[in-house]
Structure 1
Amino acid sequence: MAARRADLRSALPGLRRTLRYLRPHLRPERWLLAGGFGCLLAEVAFRLIEPWPLKYVIDAVIEPGAADRSGIVALLLLCAVALVAAAGLRALSAYLMTVCFALAGTRAMTAVRADVFAHVQRLSLRFHGSTKTGDLLTRLVGDVGRLQEVAVTAALPLLGNVVALLGMTAVMVVLDWRLALIVVAAFPVFVLASSRSSRKITSAARLQRRREGELAGTAGETLGAITVVQAYSLERILQRVFGADNQRALRDGVKASRLAAGLERKTDLLVGVATAAVLLVGGTRVLDGALTPGELVVFVSYLKGAFKPMRDLAKYTGRLAKAAASGERIVDLLETVPDITDAPHARPAPRFRGELRFEQVDLDYGTGERALRDVSLRIPAGCRVGLVGPSGSGKSTLAALVLRLYDPTGGAVTIDGHDLRDLTLASVRGQVAVVLQESVLFATSVRENIRYGRPDATDAEVEAAARVAHADEFVRRLEYGYDTVLGERGTGLSGGQRQRVAVARAVLRDARIVVLDEAATGLDRESSAAVRDAIRALTRGRTTLVISHVPEEVADCDVVVRLEAGRVVEYRPRALPRRGETVDARRR
């Protein structure tokens, strides 16, 4: 036990943090774990029994005056049966132990992966803007998988060997305490030899996992922009970047493996020296009559079994260190606090009419430079407002505040008089529909892509929304109609078709507030006309924010608001809103 504590000293903080998080996930599997530990104890008991038939055979065969051949043959037969039974029961116990622990670990890690995925989706745009997607994928898939694999292949066998070590040490003390002292004396030597190596292995493993995350981030970024990469012939440049990251990950991985291999060989040498000492001293004890030859054989068998935890610890130190590093990366991610959350007093939003107010709104992304500066606007329900201005002026940021993708650092954003921070996120976002310039479609059927607007919608409602968005006709011409599965990000549809599917999704949402962020920009004339018709059907009678660089896109808006450097610099009404409502804006 002392050796194990010393070897894992540098990894223990990470393992403790991981275990604290895993404990609630392991609690539902307590019966499987209890069964696994019961099988572990049974496996250790049969391991302790296994050498004893050999002891009786040796003592009977070489005992002076052993002439009763039939009695010896009967003893040999009995010992052979006992040995087979002990080995068989030990194998069965080990099998059941592995199955119980593997099933419990797999279930727990499945729950952990689900928690990590749910948590990542809750993290704010600030977090996702500063974190590589590839690194998140490595944590979600690679780190969770490594933690699960190491728990089954390294940690649990090591636990069994440690329990066996305690039992074997107790039996060795009973057989001959002098020989037992030789075995016990080897443990502190192993501690001194391994403590420095284990710290270096843990440090190298942490660095390796970080390098692998960076490597995945580079690969994900490149593959996500493969069109640009090929169009600009960036393959060689990005290959050099990836190659440099790959070489760094290789160096760190080789270093960890080299250190672990060195620790294994040191342990083998220590075991050899201890075994030689036991044979030397034990042989003299047999000659003196203090031990029988069979007892010496049992002692040597236990000696090898007692040193097995040290061999395993040396063998698995690298794996355990990597598991500790993976666990730390998972827990670090889970301990990242989302910027945008429901307040303790938050309540579900009522059905919105759609009146928007921005009251002296400031927004700082955390970089020290404000994205919005003292913006005040009132947008009546049902009003169509065009937001124009140069890139980086704050148009999309203003719309993001309506969805509570950000919270203002100063001032307030209200809908129908309700401060959005007093309402639950789901009830606010559920009443706002968004159509972006680059429509995000998922690698599932057209029907499911539209249904994401309202997951409980029927097939008939999905198709009705598609008709409103002028998508029904081309969807029915696809090979499998609404059940046609799209490629990643909607591959297989033209830009205009993707936009109309996105509009259908927004129509199905039936939201009182609609955000159009360059929704028809970049399309050819025919596609643009079809998308504009779909958008008109979507936004009729709804509060609409139209973000565009193109003057024609905001020509039919009730109000055009121009922003520059995060400020409202121009407010231009086209006509008075319907039903006698007034539109106003205060420029600061």
Structure 2
Amino acid sequence: FLTLVGLVGVMFSKDWLLSLIVFFVAPPLLLGLRYISKRLRLATREAVEVNSRVLGAMQETIQGITIVKAFTMENELRRKVETIIDRAENRANRIARLSERTAPMTETFAGLAISSVLAYAAFRSIYGNVPPGAFFAFVTALLMAYDPARRLARLQVSLERAAVNARMLYEILDTVPHQRDRPDATGLKLGEATVELRDVRFAYGNGEEILKGVSFRAEGGKTTALVGPSGAGKSTIISLIPRFYDPASGQILIDGQDIAGVTKQSLRNGIAYVSQQPYLFEGSIRDNIRYGRPDATDAEIEEAARLAYAHDFILAQPEGYDTPVGEHGVTLSGGQRQRLSIARALVRNAP
């Protein structure tokens, strides 16, 4: 940019009228680049969304390969993935076509500008008796200014593509969490750890109400079972207690404290959670159990594994507690993953 500015200054110092002729073609070039940039922004956003679908389809196919084989879904999924890949390829080709339009556009306008300058200079030399010597310094500066101008035009296209990606990232980063702590939220003080629901109502989004005035009391130190048909709201109640969601109305209290008025950190620190679908992270068996409490000792980890009836099968693994579990615990059976999930909850030693 500084090179371009310096050379433009030289051009104006040598011949301001010829410089104006050159800049006469600049507005159409800028309008053309602006038009390409707008279309490129849209195409880049579409490409990001389609590419995410490609990765998602491939990932879920690999993770669900057992279901794919069991239900002979290979051909159907192949067609699905090929269709998505074709869409991604079309978007990528569209971006390439738009990006490469800047080069012929700048070449064309640069050719018009240079030819106009040369024609006018020749006219002045022939009919105006103006010596051509001073003109060559202007032409030299003009030809040297072309390269940085062309590179700046391509830079704008690159920046437009980068800006779309950055904007989509910030849309995620700027998302306001629904379950925010209140300004006056306090830490949860646990005693007997009694959980009570009072007239709790809840619906997912704008859907049908799932919980309709649910009230019950789960005494601390005792086992409380929620029993009911599928879709009755059992899992939803469990999700409301750690505030993965907030109820539409009603109260959830722990030892008489409304969880809406305590910090999420203090609330979840007091909860040991075992999900319906056990989830393991990349790392060793020991690492996955220790996620329940990072400061747990090896002895505490092994004790939790014993309580979860996982110790024996862990020792049977090639490296015992240091055996890698693979992505999502793929090296272990479903029952083994569930026991490790229980051990992770037990080592937390939550009230």
TM score, norm. by length of structure 2: 0.90
Structure 2: distance between partners of 1:231 and 1:311: 57
Cα pair distance change 1:261/1:492, threshold 3 Å: closer
Report the Cα offset of residue 286 of structure 1.
7.7
8 A contact 1:202–1:318 mirrored in 2 = no
Matching of residue 322 in structure 1 with residue 155 in structure 2: no
Structure 2: distance between partners of 1:197 and 1:497: 55
Structure 2: distance between partners of 1:404 and 1:428: 8
Cα pair distance change 1:504/1:192, threshold 3 Å: closer
Aligned to 2:252: 413
Structure 2: distance between partners of 1:218 and 1:199: 29
2:133 counterpart (286, 292, 303)? 292
Matching of residue 254 in structure 1 with residue 82 in structure 2: no
Matches within 5 A, 1:361-400: 361-400=200-239
**Which amino acid in the other structure matches residue 338 of structure 1?**
P
Matching of residue 225 in structure 1 with residue 67 in structure 2: no
Aligned to 1:486: 325
**Which amino acid in the other structure matches residue 141 of structure 2?**
Y
**Which amino acid in the other structure matches residue 107 of structure 2?**
D
8 A contact 2:190–2:255 mirrored in 1 = no
Matches within 5 A, 1:345-494: 345-494=184-333
The superposition leaves residues 482-505 of structure 1 with CA deviations (integer Å, 9 ceiling, x where unpaired) of 211111121222333222222221
Report the Cα offset of residue 168 of structure 1.
1.5
Report the Cα offset of residue 174 of structure 1.
1.2
Report the Cα offset of residue 361 of structure 1.
0.3
The superposition leaves residues 53-109 of structure 1 with CA deviations (integer Å, 9 ceiling, x where unpaired) of xxxxxxxxxxxxxxxxxxxxxxxxxxxxxxxxxxxxxxxxxxxxxxxxxxxxxxxxx
Classify the secondary structure of the residue corresponding to 2:252: strand
Structure 1: distance between partners of 2:13 and 2:169: 46
Aligned to 1:131: none
Aligned to 2:177: 338
Report the Cα offset of residue 510 of structure 1.
0.3
Structure 1: distance between partners of 2:61 and 2:140: 56
1:200 counterpart (32, 39, 54)? 39
Cα pair distance change 1:429/1:192, threshold 3 Å: closer
8 A contact 1:201–1:317 mirrored in 2 = no
Aligned to 1:272: 111
Classify the secondary structure of the residue corresponding to 2:226: strand
Cα pair distance change 1:301/1:221, threshold 3 Å: farther
Structure 2: distance between partners of 1:394 and 1:305: 72
Structure 2: distance between partners of 1:211 and 1:474: 43
Aligned to 1:241: 80
The superposition leaves residues 290-328 of structure 1 with CA deviations (integer Å, 9 ceiling, x where unpaired) of 5637x72x5334323433354235434543332232122
8 A contact 1:256–1:318 mirrored in 2 = no
Matches within 5 A, 1:111-260: 161=1, 163-260=2-99
Report the Cα offset of residue 369 of structure 1.
0.5
Structure 2: distance between partners of 1:491 and 1:368: 35
Cα pair distance change 1:204/1:311, threshold 3 Å: same
Classify the secondary structure of the residue corresponding to 2:101: helix
The superposition leaves residues 386-430 of structure 1 with CA deviations (integer Å, 9 ceiling, x where unpaired) of 111111110111111111111111101010001111111111111
8 A contact 1:355–1:415 mirrored in 2 = yes
**Which amino acid in the other structure matches residue 344 of structure 2?**
R
Unaligned stretches of 5+ in structure 2?
none
Cα pair distance change 1:500/1:202, threshold 3 Å: closer
Structure 2: distance between partners of 1:214 and 1:314: 32
Report the Cα offset of residue 352 of structure 1.
4.1
**Which amino acid in the other structure matches residue 327 of structure 1?**
A
Cα pair distance change 1:247/1:467, threshold 3 Å: same
Structure 2: distance between partners of 1:360 and 1:309: 70
Matches within 5 A, 1:77-88: none
CA RMSD of aligned residues (A): 2.4
Bigger Cα displacement from structure 2, 197-206 vs 393-402: 197-206
Report the Cα offset of residue 340 of structure 1.
1.2
Cα pair distance change 1:221/1:498, threshold 3 Å: closer
8 A contact 1:260–1:318 mirrored in 2 = yes
**Which amino acid in the other structure matches residue 224 of structure 2?**
V
Classify the secondary structure of the residue corresponding to 2:350: coil
The superposition leaves residues 434-484 of structure 1 with CA deviations (integer Å, 9 ceiling, x where unpaired) of 223432111201111010000122223222322333323332332222211
**Which amino acid in the other structure matches residue 292 of structure 2?**
G
**Which amino acid in the other structure matches residue 305 of structure 2?**
A
Classify the secondary structure of the residue corresponding to 1:433: coil
8 A contact 2:292–2:347 mirrored in 1 = yes
Structure 2: distance between partners of 1:427 and 1:178: 74
Structure 1: distance between partners of 2:164 and 2:39: 13
8 A contact 2:47–2:92 mirrored in 1 = yes
Count of residues in correspondence between the two structures: 349
The superposition leaves residues 224-272 of structure 1 with CA deviations (integer Å, 9 ceiling, x where unpaired) of 3222122211122122222222222222322232233233212111112
The superposition leaves residues 346-374 of structure 1 with CA deviations (integer Å, 9 ceiling, x where unpaired) of 11112342101000000111133112110
Classify the secondary structure of the residue corresponding to 1:411: strand
Identical-residue share of aligned pairs (%): 38
Structure 2: distance between partners of 1:202 and 1:506: 47
Structure 1: distance between partners of 2:204 and 2:349: 31
Structure 1: distance between partners of 2:299 and 2:124: 90
